[in-house]
Amino acid sequence: MHTGRSWPRTEPADQASPVLLAGDLFLVAHQKTRRCEIHSRVLASGLAGSLLAELVLFGNISAKNGVLKVERREPPRDALAHSVLDTMLSQPQHQDLSTWVRFWETSAVDEVAKRLQRRGLVRKAPRWGVRRSRSGWETVGREDVVAAPGLRLAYRLMPYSHGGADPLSSADVMLASLVDLLGLTETVLWDRMTRPAALAELGRVRACLTPNLTEVLEAVSQVKTGQVLAPH
Amino acid sequence: MSTIEFPRPQVGDLVAQTLARDRLGVWAVVFFVLSAAAPFTVVAGVVTTGWAVTGIIALSVAFLVIGVVLMLFSVGYVAMARRIEHAGAFYAYIARGLGRPAGVGAAWVALLSYNALQVGLYGAVGAAAEPVLAMLGVTVPWYLVALMSWALVAVLGVLRVDVNGKVLAGLLVSEIVVIVVFDAANLLHPFEGVMSFAALNPETLANPGVGATFALAVLGFVGFESAATFSEESRDPQRTVPIATYLSVGILMSLYSVSSWAITVVVGPDNVVQAAKDKSVGLIFDLAATHLGATVAGIGSVLFLTSVIAAMISFHNTTGRYIFALGREGVLPRIFGKVWQKTNAPVAGSLAQSVLGLAVILTYAAMGWDPLVQLFFWCGTSGGVGVLLLITTTSVSVLAFFIRERDEENVWQAVIAPVLSCAALLVISACAIANLDVLLGVPGPLRWTPAAGFAGLAVFGIIVGLMLKVWRPEVYERIGAGAKAALTVDASVGVHRAVA
């Protein structure tokens, strides 16, 4: 039987998984056909939340009652997370979590894609035509590598892995929650037979999400719902 | 850990600047609102059909009266919009002002009203397409045109392809230009050489059926409430939304009253009812052909068709969003809170609206009912009465809200304007309900059908709201929360799944 550790990862093992959250979500959104399968604004709101969640996981920021607070000014090693924190530090007048989700929504897709591009995992794709990708990017390289985040989630949410293997990390619980929020659950949990049990497990683990990450998830959910409610 | 030094941007407010790039100014909001109101549809379709059915020429004055009352109403409405979550929906105001059960009742009334307005347009599109198809030498039954436009609206709704903003703006500007040109031509050719102001005389309102005329006038303004939806997307919500609302109402009021008056000038106030009965929606195009030539009249016909289709898409999307919001909040079954992630469209709400539209078109086609009067006019005016009742209840809610929770609002915003508009709207609503027989052209108990339908739905909604309060307090708490209802519902979905 496989264990959680045996699944391929998209990053070298010595790097902490929180760094990968936004990249993992990006790869899941492109897992099925190597091109983005959801609306670009939906993906953008999810990635914006992921970037903030990465800082929560690094311990740089916290969120309470919809307000962000910088807890630790020392930047993370990841350049993009560093840049996100730096921007937030330069704009102390903005503390509303939803405002920051909307702000990063404007650039999150390209920023996260460029981070993955530096690892050789994505490349530019046309936005229109037969080969179009809604995000403007497509995944490249070994399929097991680009599909790793989705496979990891699927494996750890499957009923046969509940009793053993690794429990889901906070980052993976957040990833699974965002995957569900963005409507990508069926992409990850492709096996219809085991999907109900996996969804039940997802409901259970999501209830264990830390308050800070729950706040971020709530902000993404609000922004995403607001996109649907607003005429455009 | 080494620290990478990033150069700090020497800019003012980077977040505000970035978010402002995609935000809307006053005129952008006005364009969205006017497009939803579809002024050419009102001038060419509602005005002429209204004269033909009611036989009352007071429409020009009624537009002025309703415009002023709606401006008064908007003072409190936009002031309250800053304080509530789901600012574009009347039921959210009513939930906050009069309580959540009343909000649920209003939501059901709104659903019926907007659906009636949308499906009513399928009755107009055949008449709108007739002259355009005639230019191409084609004759098609109304229901085929309606089915084609239904398919277009249904597909665009699910794909969430709103008509491009610039295309919409171009069409709207063209519509307004054509209306102004038609008006000028009509005013330059007065009947028997005498410029008559009879249609603008307030005394014309002293008519037993004036309530019907008020209901028709309200129909022309439906969509003005959507300006408040743009609070979060506007550059300066404190300024943009109020100005855009007043401007939209003012422009619509001027267009409608001048245009309807201009037609009475060219035809003669005593002849306009008969002319409307004889020529229906073709009246203003016949006048244009006479005074401006066939080409201009043809352009007008094409723009009438695009105006009707744009209105259909707009009302379809409004209804879909309403259904989506209620599904997210748990007031409607949760399936209606679903979106199609590929397009971010409220797919269940959109499909539900399309199924209703198809059923209505097929029923009218099978029964051989008149599409213009019995579908467009009846559904349009019934929807208009529903929206009038919603506006009236919202005005009461605004008043109740500011009595309890007045903050920075001045006396004019919180008391004087809401009291005046509330009183005026109560009188207008009472007149409209009393004159439903004139409006619908049906005597006897049938006249009460729309009022009874709205009352029944409101009571049903209130009962549902009270049941939610007792049995599902977590859903009850989120009524009217709009986007902020999202996570509670998501979390409860998770729980449902976990239970399943």
Which of A97, A221, A223, A227 should we substitute to test contact with B (largest number of B Cβ atoms within 10 Å)? Answer: A221
- Tens digits of residue pLDDT in B243-283: 999 999 999 999 999 999 999 999 988 899 999 988 888 88
Q: Which of A91, A222, A228 sits opposite B321 (nearest CB)?
A: A228
CA distance A184 to A224: 14
Please answer yes or no on whether A231 and B321 come within 8 Å at the CB atom: yes
Residue with tokens 């959250």: A21
CB A27 within 8 A of CB A150: yes
CB B216 within 8 A of CB B52: no
pLDDT of residue B483: 67
Q: Which of B1, B339, B498 sits opposite A228 (nearest CB)?
A: B339
Q: Is residue B141 part of a domain?
A: yes
| Identity at B16, one-letter amino acid code | A
Q: Is residue B251 part of a domain?
A: yes
ipTM, interface predicted TM-score of the complex:
0.74
Q: Report residue B19's pLDDT band, with 50, 70 and 90 as the boundaries.
A: confident
Q: Report residue A231's pLDDT band, with 50, 70 and 90 as the boundaries.
A: low
Chain A nearest CA to B403, separation (Å): 28
> Tokens in use for B352?
């539900």
CA angle A199, A191, A220 (to 5 degrees): 40
3-state helix, strand, coil in chain B (%, to 5): 80, 0, 20
How many interface pairs between A and B have CB atoms less than 8 angstroms apart? 124
Taking contacts as CB-CB distances below 8 angstroms, the residues of chain B near A217 are 487
- Tens digits of residue pLDDT in B35-65: 878 888 899 888 998 888 888 888 999 999 9
- Name which of B362, B380, B339 is nearest B124 in CA terms: B380
CB B257 within 8 A of CB B60: yes
Which of B13, B18, B233, B493 should we substitute to test contact with A (largest number of A Cβ atoms within 10 Å)? Answer: B18
- Name which of B442, B424, B456 is nearest B217 in CA terms: B424
> Tokens in use for B454?
């709205």
- Name which of B47, B359, B60 is nearest B202 in CA terms: B60
- Name which of A2, A12, A48 is nearest A145 in CA terms: A12
Please answer yes or no on whether B8 and A86 come within 8 Å at the CB atom: yes
Q: Provide the b/e sequence for B473-491 (b: ≥16 CB within 10 Å).
A: eebbebbbbbbbbbbbbbb
Chain A nearest CA to B454, separation (Å): 24
Please answer yes or no on whether A74 and B1 come within 8 Å at the CB atom: yes
Q: Is residue B207 part of a domain?
A: yes
pLDDT of residue A10: 45
Check which CATH number belongs to the domain holding B112 and give it.
1.20.1740.10
Q: Which of B15, B233, B487 sits opposite A91 (nearest CB)?
A: B15
pLDDT > 90? residue A226: no
Taking contacts as CB-CB distances below 8 angstroms, the residues of chain A near B13 are 91, 93-94
Other CB atoms within 10 Å distance of the CB of residue B439: 27
Q: Which of A99, A218, A222 sits opposite B15 (nearest CB)?
A: A99
Report the run of H or E that residue A69 belongs to, with start and end.
strand A67-70
pLDDT of residue B418: 94
Residue with tokens 């001048």: B258
Question: Distance of CA B123 to CAs A89, A160, A168, B50, B380, Å?
Answer: 58, 58, 57, 15, 10
Give the strand pairing for A137-139 and A122-124. antiparallel
Q: How many domains does chain B have?
A: 1
Taking contacts as CB-CB distances below 8 angstroms, the residues of chain A near B324 are 228-229
Mean pLDDT of A92-102: 91
> Tokens in use for A215?
């706040």
Please answer yes or no on whether A231 and B230 come within 8 Å at the CB atom: yes
Mean pLDDT of B149-161: 85
Q: What is the DSSP string of B339-405?
A: -BTTTTB-HHHHHHHHHHHHHHHHHHHHHT--IIIIIIIHHHHHHHHHHHHHHHHHHHHHHHHHHHH
- Tens digits of residue pLDDT in B319-345: 888 888 888 888 888 888 888 888 888
- Name which of A121, A90, A113 is nearest A103 in CA terms: A90
Report the run of H or E that residue B175 belongs to, with start and end.
helix B165-188
Taking contacts as CB-CB distances below 8 angstroms, the residues of chain B near A41 are 344
pLDDT of residue B459: 95
A13: helix, strand or coil? coil
Please answer yes or no on whether B482 and A226 come within 8 Å at the CB atom: yes
- Name which of B76, B103, B93, B95 is nearest B419 in CA terms: B76
Please answer yes or no on whether B1 and A82 come within 8 Å at the CB atom: no
Residue with tokens 């959910």: A221
**β-bridge mates for residue A63, sequence order:** A68
Q: Is residue B8 part of a domain?
A: no
Please answer yes or no on whether B15 and A230 come within 8 Å at the CB atom: no
Question: Distance of CA B110 to CAs B66, B117, B226, B241, B484, Å?
Answer: 20, 10, 13, 22, 20
A122: helix, strand or coil? strand
Q: Which of A39, A222, A231 sits opposite B226 (nearest CB)?
A: A231
Taking contacts as CB-CB distances below 8 angstroms, the residues of chain A near B86 are 229
pLDDT > 60? residue A4: no
Using left for φ > 0, alpha for ψ between -120 and 50, and beta otherwise, residue A125 falls in beta
- Residue in A closest to B322 by C-alpha: A229
Rg of chain A (C-alpha set):
17
Taking contacts as CB-CB distances below 8 angstroms, the residues of chain B near A232 are 162
Q: Report residue A33's pLDDT band, with 50, 70 and 90 as the boundaries.
A: confident
CA A92 to chain centre: 25
- Tens digits of residue pLDDT in B446-457: 778 888 889 999
Chain A nearest CA to B495, separation (Å): 6
Please answer yes or no on whether B346 and A94 come within 8 Å at the CB atom: no
- Tens digits of residue pLDDT in B365-422: 999 998 988 898 889 888 999 999 999 999 999 999 999 888 888 899 999 999 999 9
Q: Is A58 an 8 Å CB contact of chain B?
A: no
Say what percent of chain B tops pLDDT 70: 90
Rg of chain B (C-alpha set):
23
- Tens digits of residue pLDDT in A102-156: 999 999 999 999 999 988 889 998 777 777 888 899 999 788 788 889 988 888 8
| Identity at A64, one-letter amino acid code | K
Domain that holds residue B246: 22-477+484-490
Taking contacts as CB-CB distances below 8 angstroms, the residues of chain B near A36 are none
- Residue in B closest to A176 by C-alpha: B494
Chain B nearest CA to A228, separation (Å): 7
> Tokens in use for B112?
């019926």
| Identity at B224, one-letter amino acid code | F
pLDDT of residue A1: 33
Which of B317, B344, B484 should we substitute to test contact with A (largest number of A Cβ atoms within 10 Å)? Answer: B344
Taking contacts as CB-CB distances below 8 angstroms, the residues of chain B near A196 are 497, 500
Taking contacts as CB-CB distances below 8 angstroms, the residues of chain A near B164 are none
Mean pLDDT (chain B, rounded): 85
Taking contacts as CB-CB distances below 8 angstroms, the residues of chain A near B157 are none
Question: Distance of CA B165 to CAs A230, B36, B248, B310, B330, Å?
Answer: 14, 12, 17, 11, 32
Mean pLDDT (chain A, rounded): 84
Q: Does domain A16-229 have CATH number 2.60.40.420?
A: no
The residues, any chain, with a CB within 8 Å of residue B210's CB and separated by 6 or more, are B56, B58, B62, B431, B435
Q: Is residue B498 part of a domain?
A: no
pLDDT of residue B227: 81
B234: helix, strand or coil? strand
Taking contacts as CB-CB distances below 8 angstroms, the residues of chain B near A211 are none
Which among B80-89, B356-365, B380-389 has the top mean pLDDT? B356-365
- Tens digits of residue pLDDT in A68-90: 999 999 999 889 999 999 999 99
Taking contacts as CB-CB distances below 8 angstroms, the residues of chain B near A111 are none
- Residue in A closest to B345 by C-alpha: A228
Q: Provide the b/e sequence for B145-178 (b: ≥16 CB within 10 Å).
A: bbbebbeebbebbbebebbeeeebbebbebbbeb
CA distance A146 to B377: 57
